Amino acid sequence: MTYLHNIGAYFLMIFEMFRKPTKWNVMKQLILKDIDDLIIGSLGIVAFISFFVGGVVTIQTALNIDNPLIPKYLVGFATRQSIILEFAPTFMSIIMAGKVGSFITSSIGTMRVTEQIDALEVMGINSLNYLVFPKFISLLLYPFVISIAMFLGILGGMAACVYGGFSTLQDYIVGIQNDFQTFHVTYAFIKTFVFAFVLATIPSFHGYYMKGGALEVGKASTTSFVWTSVVIIILNYLLTQMLLS
Partner 1 sequence: MIEVNNLHKSFGDTEVLKGISTTFDKGKTNLIIGQSGSGKTVFLKCLLGLFEYEEGTIAYDGKIFSQLSEDEKRNIRADIGMVFQGSALFDSMTIAQNVMFPLQMFTKQSKSEMEDRVDFVLKRVNLPDAHNKMPSEASGGMQKRVAIARAIVNNPKYLFCDEPNSGLDPKTAIVIDNLIQEITDEYQITTVINSHDMNSVMEIGEKIVFLRLGLKAWEGSNKTIFKTDNEVVTDFVYSSNLFKKVRKMYLEENE
Q: Which residues bind partner 1 (CB under 8 A)?
A: 20, 22-23, 25-26, 33, 110, 114-116, 118-119, 121-125
Total residue length of the chain: 245
Closest separation in Å from C-beta 111 to partner 1: 8
Q: By C-alpha distance, which of 77, 61, 49 is closest to 152?
A: 49
Least separation, in Å, of the C-beta of 214 and partner 1?
A: 12
Cα of 111 vs its chain's centroid, Å: 24
Q: Residue 39's CB: how many other CB atoms inside 10 A?
A: 18
In the bound state with partner 1, the residue whose beta carbon lies nearer, of 164 and 213, is 213
Q: Which is nearer to partner 1, 91 or 130 (CB)?
A: 130
Q: How far is CA 108 from CA 35, 38, 199, in A?
A: 16, 14, 14
Closest approach of partner 1 to the CB of residue 62, in Å: 48
Of the pair 60, 110, the CB lying nearest partner 1 is at 110
What is the rounded CA–CA span in Å between residue 100 and residue 200?
A: 9
- Choose between 71 and 218: whose C-beta lies nearer to partner 1: 218
What whole-number distance in Å separates Cα of residue 135 and Cα of residue 111? 15
Closest contact distance (angstroms) between CB of 116 and partner 1 is: 5
Residue 66 DSSP symbol: -
Q: How far is the CB of 134 from partner 1 (least distance, A)?
A: 12
Would you state the torsion angle of the CA atoms of residues 200, 206, 208, 212, taken in this order, to the nearest 10 degrees?
-150
Nearest CB to partner 1, comparing residues 86 and 121:
121
Which CB, 35 or 232, lies closer to partner 1? 35
Least distance to partner 1 from the beta carbon of 29, Å? Answer: 9
Q: Which of 114, 108, 178, 131 has its CA nearest to residue 20?
A: 131
